[in-house]
Amino acid sequence: MSTLENRPNTALLVVDVQNGVVDGAVGRDSVVANIGSLVERARRERVPVIWVQHSGEGLEPESDDWRIVPELIPSEPEPLVGKTYGDSFEDTTLETVLSGLGVGSLVVVGAETDACIRSTLHGALARGYDATLVGDAHTTGDKTEWGSPSPEQVIAHTNLYWKYQTAPGRTAGTVETKDVDFGAAS
């Protein structure tokens, strides 16, 4: 259980699944479909769904690239957290939102694997949250021209190393969409 007191709940954290972020990302359609199925399941099980939306260069607010992909539509009561840094907690309202919902465990999905997903996972664990990565529900674009491994390798490596992350009093891990158990994450 997380090290956060009186935080027994789990939330689904959907990070940066925006047109300009996932356009051309590896496995985009299957990742978005997996995220969609998790959003539907979370809603049925009354698990909070928290949306994170990045703004910055190339992602100007209200532009088409900035918008969340059309396959995923946040519901009116679901919190939407704006951010300008990789870590979804950094200089945002995310901690306040999660605290208000009594959330101590996060199930994390979205983009980009090698930037905002990694930053958010580490930010969550360092702040006392349990953080589970859904291995087939995150993606990234091709950055090989700048010396990065292929997107497939980036995703596989992130899934592997997050599977074995630990911290005192906190849990981490990687699961597939079909194996997500929002109750067990609590």
Whether 116 is catalytic is: yes
Sign, CA dihedral 150-145-17-103, equals: positive
CA proximity to 70, closest of 23, 126, 116: 23
Single out the residue of 12, 170, 28 nearest to residue 113, CA to CA.
28
Q: Which of 4, 21, 116, 133 is catalytic?
A: 116
User: Quick one: 9 exposed, middle or buried, by C-beta within 10 A (0-12, 13-18, 19+)?
Assistant: middle
Closest CA to 69 of 97, 107, 104, 109: 109
Q: How many residues are there in the chain?
A: 186
Cβ(110)–Cβ(52) below 8 Å: yes
The torsion defined by the Cα of 130, 15, 43 and 170, in degrees rounded to 10, comes to 0
CA geometry: angle 42, 10, 14, nearest 5 deg: 60
Which residues does the annotation mark as catalytic?
116
